[in-house]
Amino acid sequence: MKRFRLLIVLLVFSLALPEAFAQSISVSGTVKDKLGKEIPGVSVVIKGTTNGVSTGTDGKYAITVPKAGTTLVFSFIGMTTQEFLITKSETINVTLDEAANSLNDVVIVGFGSQKRSNVTGSVATVNSKQLVQTPVGDLSNALAGRTPGVITKQPSGEPGADATQIYIRGNSTFGGGTMEPLFVIDGIVRSGRDFGQMDPNEIESVSILKDASSAAIFGVKGANGVVLVTTKRGKAGQLSANYSFNYGFSQVTRLPDALGSYEYAVLYNEAKLNDNPNATPEFSLDRLESFRNGNDPDVNPNTNWMDLVLGGTAPRMQHNLSLSGGSEKTKYFTSFGYLDEDGLYSSLNYRRYNVRTNLDIQATSTTKISVDLSARMENKQSPPASIDNIFEHTMRNPPIFPARFSNGLLAAPGVYPNPLALISEESGYNRNSSNYFLSNFQVVQQIPGVEGLSIKGVLAFDRNFNYNKIWNQWVPLYIRNADGTYTVSAQSKSSLSKGYGEGQGLELQGHINYDRRFGKHGISALALVLQKENQGTGIYGARNSYESSALQILNFGPALNEVLSDGESKTALRSAAFRLNYDFDGKYLFQASLRRDESENFAPKERVGYFPAFSAGWLITRESFMQNVKFVDFLKLKASYGTLGSDRIPSRFGYYNRYNLVPNAYPFGGVPNTGLTPGAIANENLTWETSIKMDAGIEAKLFKNQLSVDFTLFKERRKDILATRSLSVPLSFGAALPSENIGIVENKGLELVLNHNKQLSADWSYFIGGNFTYAKNKIIEAAEASNIPEGKRITGRPNGGYYGYKAVGIFRDAADYAASPKPTAFLNSTGPGDIKYEDISGPNGIPDGVIDDFDITYLGNGTLPQILYGINGGVNFKGFELNFLLQGAAQSQQLLTQNAAWAFHNGGRVNAEWLDRWTPARPDAPLPRLTLNTNGNNYLVSSFWLQNSSYIRLKNVEFAYTLKNKVLTKIGAKNLRIYAQGQNLFTITDLLNLDPENTNGIGRYYPQQKTYTFGVNIQF
């Protein structure tokens, strides 16, 4: 601490050092930007006059000032203006910083960086402040709502498994191809999880490459867009330390409202009578009365299962310590992060440790070496029961079964498992440990004698180890007998499984960079070769029927039902790329690139692909005719066109005529025999998906940079999507057909960003901004059967759409029922109060008075929203900050089924909305009459259960105060920031029961969380 203080004192002292006096004063020097690049054309003016000079092409200037005490003003568009008080002749080298929110931000692009004003592609950025502002376990969640073009859906809130699905500009593929973008961390392709599980404090910036020209350098990997991450690096200077800590707790965003026992039982009786008017009621009046009174809860329970399992709060905690600094020769950034997230039930916990060291060594004046090492350890403990299993029964069990008797014994609720047993620590454990080591070594050599030419070599080496152990044991459940005694459930034996996997990756890159200006001509070129190899192996063993829990190891169990398996995989890629940027006078911008890829996933003759892209931009504000248009500070038009690929398709060795191993194919004589089964027929022509992307946009800054507008139109045609002709080839062919590159999807849309910020006074400022994305896709070709009825045809309709019957209300009464078309399947069981469907068509294409397969039609575009938007804003007053982010989605639907929507499904519970159901007395109620059988007319896939899942939610709000005063200085700190944050605080949606971001319409998922966090950040 003493050292810090000393350093600070020295620094302050040196700045304040009084200068000597002088008479004839000439000042000269060089103006550079933050990256050390000379800036030509910077105006150097004597304050209060128009007298001044500009810097030359080399950034140098020289000026004579009349007297000491004169102030020189250095200004350049997009940079913060700097002033220097001149007291004597001297050399003043100036480094101009980009103005806040400036166009001269350096944007990280693939294998390089560009000034934002020069970018001709579509690149969005999320800055480190925004990332840290969102206290999330998985970083992918921090991208939601921050930038246009990024469509997000977070299907689960489970600690350690809560990643957001990211669709850059929508969904352009089907049939198993992934839309996951490519994640590139410091120039090396990593997994989505490598990104998601980074500590946000390690990150300098995140760029999202959306169009062909920006992602083209990634070729066959780039069609889904690219998320580029740059980590923080050390700066020369004193040691700077940063410690942050936050603590918070999470709750479920929304839970279905299940009816209690009394109402459940009343409705049950009604449903039973609806099914069979002669039936005896299930619950007698006495029993109903007992439920209502709640007396003797052991006999007449009223169990709220959702609340028992999910009603709690889950604490979470994060620490991060990072240090950076160094000398001109050696700079370092090092960070240690720790995350500890508990689940809503105590048997669930996730812990993560992140370590990173980025080291830069200036080995010679022209040689720079970087060594980046990062590692993380993820430890997760959860109950052995799967999420699906836990939530199936949490969603299903009716309230009339006890969860736990008053004496503390766990109850056996009817036939289904007790979810409290499934989440109990007595039930065993599922332990996961994942360890990752990622490294990245780089050498950059400026070529002496050739200005602007450098070469770079990169070696990235990764290792990972994953370990999983699941021990499952019996939890005693009790049945209460009529005489008040308890019977314990039959004891079951324990089981164990263990899996171990490891992987490694090796990537080599060679770059040649050339970057130079010749007068008005700016040239920058990159040539790149790249080679990558990944391999993985794993082994899995399981035994069951353990008689005892004493030894939880494999060899302690009986070999009878043993499972043993292993797997190995290997992939490789070899690529080369070339990119050329040219600008004339900073006004006309051009970029062209070409990448060649060879992927091992295809037959030798189909391995090589070329991916070209072009883009151009016009900086209109640099034209002389714009100089008089005062309110326009910046205006740029840009357009791009190019081809990209996606080789992450669901076909491994699809070119190979294969026979797969079938263990235990057939037991002759009681002895299992191995079999060989033919796989899908080979397709030697199999290749990647090809995406042709077009993009055109306009960027503007108006009114002294107070308003910025960014508008982009985009279109993608993705072809060669893997599809099988199985949709059009008869089943009598008898084999799985090869995947062929036949599908085509078209995706188009627009993005709009508006930002406004204003400094109202020295103390007050505010900003508000919004981004909006609309992306709509259409299947152009899917190899459908020629005879398929029009209503079921997916060609010409959005990808992933919903198909079913169109509900047109509920049969109000017998007359309505008699007069309406009905499904033939349920004539025995339908009647007034059931759902009425539209008679759309028949075998001859015209309505036939019968509801059948021909009436199935397209109902909606599916769970992926077509519209996504974010609105963020904030106010700063002195040290106080208030920021918020609203995020929303529209034009999406969710089909709610089973226990998420239906009453009594599979013996299950009833949600509160069913109080408003059809009865003869209430013929206009929104829900149909009750039944105990959820396999009938009312439960067909129809628009009735398809709900609008549009939503708007307060994704994030933060209130912070930054303290800077002498007290802090005394303890060695520069500043202290304390804050309170809320995540997902409220949501407005029409969707019933479930979180609108879920993708599981049955409700069997770990719910999304709202989180309240308090934190502190101290900088030394």
Rounded to 5 degrees, φ, ψ at 272 are -65, -40
Considering the complex, state which of residue 9 and residue 676 has its C-beta at the smaller distance from other proteins: 676
Q: Which of 561, 627, 759, 919 binds other proteins (CB under 8 A)?
A: 561
Considering the complex, state which of residue 40 and residue 536 has its C-beta at the smaller distance from other proteins: 536
Number of amino acids touching other proteins (CB under 8 A): 111
Considering the complex, state which of residue 509 and residue 593 has its C-beta at the smaller distance from other proteins: 509
* Planar angle of CA 293, 298, 303, nearest 5 degrees: 75
Q: Which of 852, 855, 995, 997 binds other proteins (CB under 8 A)?
A: 852
- DSSP annotation of 738 reads P
The Cα–Cα gap between 353 and 433 comes to 11
Residues 641-700 that bind other proteins (CB under 8 A): 652-653, 656-679, 681
Residues 21-60 that bind other proteins (CB under 8 A): none
Q: Which of 131, 359, 423, 530 binds other proteins (CB under 8 A)?
A: 530
Considering the complex, state which of residue 494 and residue 943 has its C-beta at the smaller distance from other proteins: 494
The Cα–Cα gap between 540 and 500 comes to 6
Q: Residue 726 Cβ, how far from other proteins at the closest point, in Å?
A: 9
Q: For the packed helices 261-275 and 285-293, what is the interaxial angle rounded to 10 degrees? A: 150
Considering the complex, state which of residue 290 and residue 705 has its C-beta at the smaller distance from other proteins: 290
Q: Residue 948 Cβ, how far from other proteins at the closest point, in Å?
A: 25
Considering the complex, state which of residue 379 and residue 386 has its C-beta at the smaller distance from other proteins: 386
The Cα–Cα gap between 100 and 573 comes to 40
Considering the complex, state which of residue 272 and residue 638 has its C-beta at the smaller distance from other proteins: 272
b (16+ CB within 10 A) / e for 888-918:
bbebbbbbbbbbbbbbbbeebbbbebbeebb
31 CB-near residues (< 8 Å, 6+ apart):
38, 39, 42, 44, 55, 59, 61, 74, 76, 93, 94, 95, 96
Residues 255-314 that bind other proteins (CB under 8 A): 282, 284
Q: Residue 468 Cβ, how far from other proteins at the closest point, in Å?
A: 20
The Cα–Cα gap between 36 and 745 comes to 45
Considering the complex, state which of residue 23 and residue 491 has its C-beta at the smaller distance from other proteins: 491
Q: Which of 574, 715, 756, 778 binds other proteins (CB under 8 A)?
A: 574
Residues 180-239 that bind other proteins (CB under 8 A): none
Beta strands 90-91 and 25-33, pairing class: parallel
Stretch that binds other proteins, among 229-237, 486-494, 918-926, 988-996 (CB under 8 A): 486-494
Q: Which of 66, 176, 315, 567 binds other proteins (CB under 8 A)?
A: 567
The Cα–Cα gap between 645 and 610 comes to 9
Residues 587-626 that bind other proteins (CB under 8 A): 598-600, 604, 607
Q: Residue 692 Cβ, how far from other proteins at the closest point, in Å?
A: 26
Q: Residue 945 Cβ, how far from other proteins at the closest point, in Å?
A: 15
405: tokens are 């008797």
Q: Residue 812 Cβ, how far from other proteins at the closest point, in Å?
A: 24
Stretch that binds other proteins, among 62-70, 497-505, 820-828, 887-895 (CB under 8 A): 820-828
Considering the complex, state which of residue 23 and residue 365 has its C-beta at the smaller distance from other proteins: 365
Considering the complex, state which of residue 43 and residue 571 has its C-beta at the smaller distance from other proteins: 571
Q: Which of 285, 560, 762, 819 binds other proteins (CB under 8 A)?
A: 560
Q: Which residue has the tokens 């008089």?
A: 628
Q: Is 483 in the site for other proteins (CB under 8 A)?
A: no
The Cα–Cα gap between 298 and 404 comes to 8
Q: Residue 308 Cβ, how far from other proteins at the closest point, in Å?
A: 20
Q: Which of 75, 445, 504, 975 binds other proteins (CB under 8 A)?
A: 445
Considering the complex, state which of residue 815 and residue 827 has its C-beta at the smaller distance from other proteins: 827
Q: Residue 788 Cβ, how far from other proteins at the closest point, in Å?
A: 5
Considering the complex, state which of residue 345 and residue 854 has its C-beta at the smaller distance from other proteins: 854
**Is 717 exposed, middle or buried, given 0-12, 13-18 or 19+ CB atoms closer than 10 A?**
middle
Q: Which residue has the tokens 């004193």?
A: 238
Considering the complex, state which of residue 94 and residue 411 has its C-beta at the smaller distance from other proteins: 411
Helices of type H across 399-439:
419-422
Q: Residue 664 Cβ, how far from other proteins at the closest point, in Å?
A: 3
* DSSP letter string, 274-327: HH-TTSPPSS-HHHHHHHHHT-STTTS----HHHHHH-S-EEEEEEEEEEEEE-
Element (H, E) at 702: strand 689-702
Q: Is 533 in the site for other proteins (CB under 8 A)?
A: yes
* Cα→Cα distances 512→212, 458, 576, 614, 821, Å: 22, 12, 12, 20, 72
Rounded to 5 degrees, φ, ψ at 616 are -150, 155
Q: Is 367 in the site for other proteins (CB under 8 A)?
A: yes
Residues 822-851 that bind other proteins (CB under 8 A): 823-829
Q: Is 363 in the site for other proteins (CB under 8 A)?
A: yes
* Cα→Cα distances 294→261, 407, 420, 478, 748, Å: 9, 17, 21, 21, 58
Element (H, E) at 392: helix 387-396
Q: Residue 828 Cβ, how far from other proteins at the closest point, in Å?
A: 5
Q: Is 493 in the site for other proteins (CB under 8 A)?
A: yes
Stretch that binds other proteins, among 155-163, 217-225, 479-487, 860-868 (CB under 8 A): 479-487
Q: Which of 40, 311, 503, 510 binds other proteins (CB under 8 A)?
A: 510
Q: Residue 959 Cβ, how far from other proteins at the closest point, in Å?
A: 47
* DSSP letter string, 712-728: EEEEEEEEEEEEEGGGT
Q: Please name the amino acid found at residue 825.
A: A
Residues 968-987 that bind other proteins (CB under 8 A): none
b (16+ CB within 10 A) / e for 962-993:
beeeeebbeebbeebbebebbbbbebebebbb
* Cα→Cα distances 634→103, 271, 273, 659, Å: 8, 68, 73, 62
Q: Is 544 in the site for other proteins (CB under 8 A)?
A: yes
The Cα–Cα gap between 904 and 929 comes to 12
Considering the complex, state which of residue 15 and residue 671 has its C-beta at the smaller distance from other proteins: 671
Residues 855-914 that bind other proteins (CB under 8 A): 906-907
Residues 931-970 that bind other proteins (CB under 8 A): 932-935
Residues 759-798 that bind other proteins (CB under 8 A): 785-788
Considering the complex, state which of residue 43 and residue 446 has its C-beta at the smaller distance from other proteins: 446
Q: Is 548 in the site for other proteins (CB under 8 A)?
A: no
* Cα→Cα distances 479→299, 417, 418, 476, 483, Å: 11, 13, 12, 10, 11
Q: Residue 409 Cβ, how far from other proteins at the closest point, in Å?
A: 15
Q: Residue 286 Cβ, how far from other proteins at the closest point, in Å?
A: 8
Of 171, 193, 183, residue with least CA distance to 215: 183
Of 20, 25, 237, 213, residue with least CA distance to 123: 213
Considering the complex, state which of residue 483 and residue 924 has its C-beta at the smaller distance from other proteins: 483
Q: Which of 489, 552, 999, 1019 binds other proteins (CB under 8 A)?
A: 489
The Cα–Cα gap between 62 and 688 comes to 58
Q: Residue 852 Cβ, how far from other proteins at the closest point, in Å?
A: 7
Q: Is 511 in the site for other proteins (CB under 8 A)?
A: yes
**Is 806 exposed, middle or buried, given 0-12, 13-18 or 19+ CB atoms closer than 10 A?**
buried
Q: Which of 257, 585, 853, 990 binds other proteins (CB under 8 A)?
A: 853
Considering the complex, state which of residue 733 and residue 880 has its C-beta at the smaller distance from other proteins: 733
Whether the CA torsion 825, 828, 830, 832 is positive or negative: it is positive
